[in-house]
Every structure is written in C-alpha cells, then in structure tokens.
Amino acid sequence: MRGVNIFANPQAKWLGVALIAIALIGLPFALASVGTAWVRIANLAILFVFLSLGLNIVVGFAGLLDLGYIAFYAVGAYVYALLASPHFNLHLPFWVILPIGALVACLFGVLLGAPTLKLRGDYLAIVTLGFGEIVRIFLNNLSQPVNITNGPQGISRIDPFRFGAFSFSQSESVLGLVFSGPIKYYYLLLLLLLLAIVVNLRLQHSRIGRAWEAVREDEIAARAMGINTTGIKLLAFAMGASFGGMAGGMFAAIQGFISPESFVLVESVMVLSMVVLGGMGNIWGVVLGAVLLSFVPELLRYTVEPLQKALFGRSIIEPEVIRMLLFGLALVLMMLYRPAGLLPSAVRKRELTKAATE
C-alpha cells in the first residue's frame, strides 16, 4: 500500500477505506435502481479490472508487452464452457473449474513464453499478437473433425455459478431487498477481486516482484545479480495468464454464452489501454484505469447516442466506434503526455520520464 498514503492520519485513512467499502457494497443497489443493465456493466468492469491486473503483471511488473493477452481469457472461458454446459454434458461445480481454467491458461502462458521470452521486447509483442490470433482461429475451426469448440456458433447454455441449490442466476429477496442474479454475481466478483488485489499487492513487494522490477529496469544487471531472467519472465507470463484464465471462467458463467467473437485482438488492446491509462506497474492505477475505461464508454453510449438522435435525427457515430476511438486516443495521448499513467508507480515514473528527456 506504499504510495497511496493520501491520508497522513491513520484514523482518517481507515475512515476513507470504510467509506469506499460502504460505497462498493451499496453500489449495485444504486445501479439497479437505474437499470439492471448497469449492474451487468459493473460486473464486466470487475472482470476487466481482473484482466488488467493480470496483464499488469506482464506489462507493468515485468515490462513485457503482451498483445495476445485475451487468448488466456478465451482459454479460461472455453475451459469453463466445456466443463459446465450441455455441450459435452459435463456440469462440474465452478470452484473446481475456475482453478482448472487458471491452470490451463497458465500452461498456455508457459507454452507461449518458453520459446519466445528470449526475444527482444518488440518482437515479443508481435509474437504474442500472433498467438492471440492463432488461438482465435483454432476456436473458430475446432468444430471438425471432432466438435470441441462448436466453431463460430460458440457454446451456449453455460451453467451459472451454483452452491448446491443456491444459484447465482436467480433473483432472491432477503429482508425486503431484492438480490437479482447480477447483484449476487457482483458481490462474488468483488470478493474475488479483493483477493486478487491482495495477491497482487503481496506479489509486488515480494522477492519475485522485485526480481521482475529488476529485469524490467535492466536485464543484464539483473542477471548479474543472480536472477534467472528467463525463468522470472516465464513466471510473469504464467501468473498473468492464470489471472486471465480465471477471469475468462467467470465471464463464461456470467454471460452463459461465449463465441470466438468475444476474444478478438481489439479486446487485448482494450485491456492494454486500461493498464496504460491507469499507470503500468501501479496496482491502484490499473484498477482506476480499468474502472474508468469500463464505465466512461457506457456513459457515452447513454448520452452521446440520444444526443446525436436529438441533434441530427439519427445516430452518426455508433457508440462502439466512440469506445474504440477513446481507447486508441487513451493509448496515444497517455504515451505522449503522461507515459507513466494517471497514477504512476514511483519507479515507473522515474524510469519513463527520465528516459524521455535524455
């Protein structure tokens, strides 16, 4: 938690934390009063925070540009879909599948990383980009000769999360409060997210985290200090991938339907924009970036669209396009004017600004 001591007074700090906690607990009900769609958006935002945290391990901590990150998300999602849907008639419980998904994604991470991590940064970016495309092409085509992925149609009727009779997809009312499916998911996701953030915070200042930082700053010096650079980079890849796999499993369960369409290159770029906007290497920055880039486009969707209709009588710029233009602009403008992100990590800031003025 170093670097976020906004409140010098520890009591004030705890007060702040308590306020944020209350806001987060109350949020889904406030959103539900506007529309259930907003709760779903909040859930997707949490998934994106999850993904961004995973990518941050690779890009932020270890300094490796991974442009095929969404492939791990896809792997996790498909593992979940295959093990919990009528497609193979398997219905394993989610607490069994999520770790399997993370593990399989991790395996893919190692598979990709092992031959390529020796490469220089920009080559790595291209290879990972290619890897993302390969995974998508396979998902699209592995419906023959044995139907594994069901091709472009995707897999539907995926099981929701379930604890015995308690299903996360049904509404329930407790003490007069209506807990709709998305709201229940919200709390579960929030819990998992907190766990992920704690893991990330612990990781960052651990021996491994410091080794990543060393490799990122100066690989040769790091090797001279006795760090197994290839091993440590591979670890970053594997860890990042397992976060992606976890998030993918949750995505499959919440949506109930997945297809290769959801895992295109643009999605990788989106997650990257979130990491870059918030601040590569800073966990709270990344969280902020992911939340901002999840909500702002949706807000725009609900404001710009009616505004255009009112002004011109029709929608000239689709919200989806605005969203992507926003992501692109975020990437370019951040790199040009604030390369270390909105909430820069201390080390990263020093590195990026010093190098830029050299």
Residues of this chain that interact with other proteins (CB under 8 A) are 59, 63, 65, 67, 115-116, 118-119, 121-123, 125-127, 129-131, 133-134, 137-138, 140-141, 144-145, 265-266, 269, 272-273, 276, 317, 321, 324-325, 327-332, 334-336, 339, 351-352, 355-358
C-beta closer to other proteins: residue 32 or 276 = 276
What is the enclosing helix (H) or strand (E) of 89? none
C-beta closer to other proteins: residue 122 or 313 = 122
Q: What minimum distance in Å lies between the beta carbon of 55 and other proteins?
A: 12
Radius of gyration in angstroms for the set of CA atoms belonging to the chain, rounded to a whole number: 21
Q: What minimum distance in Å lies between the beta carbon of 300 and other proteins?
A: 14
Q: What minimum distance in Å lies between the beta carbon of 168 and other proteins?
A: 34
Q: Which amino acid is at 13?
A: K
C-beta closer to other proteins: residue 42 or 214 = 214
C-beta closer to other proteins: residue 110 or 331 = 331
Q: What minimum distance in Å lies between the beta carbon of 258 and other proteins?
A: 20
What is the enclosing helix (H) or strand (E) of 245? helix 229-255
Contact 216, 63 (CB under 8 A): yes
DSSP conformational letter for 59: I
Half-sphere exposure of 347 (CA within 13 A, CB side): 19
C-beta closer to other proteins: residue 145 or 164 = 145
Closest CA to 111 of 237, 236, 232: 237
Contact 104, 95 (CB under 8 A): no
C-beta closer to other proteins: residue 96 or 325 = 325
Non-local (6+) Cβ contacts of 313 within 8 A are none
Q: What minimum distance in Å lies between the beta carbon of 154 and other proteins?
A: 16
Q: What minimum distance in Å lies between the beta carbon of 148 and other proteins?
A: 12
Length in residues, the chain: 358
Handedness of CA 83, 84, 90, 93 (dihedral sign): positive
Alpha carbon of residue 135 to chain centroid? 18
C-beta closer to other proteins: residue 63 or 249 = 63
Cα gap 116→261, rounded to integer Å: 26
Cα gap 50→53, rounded to integer Å: 5
Q: What minimum distance in Å lies between the beta carbon of 338 and other proteins?
A: 11
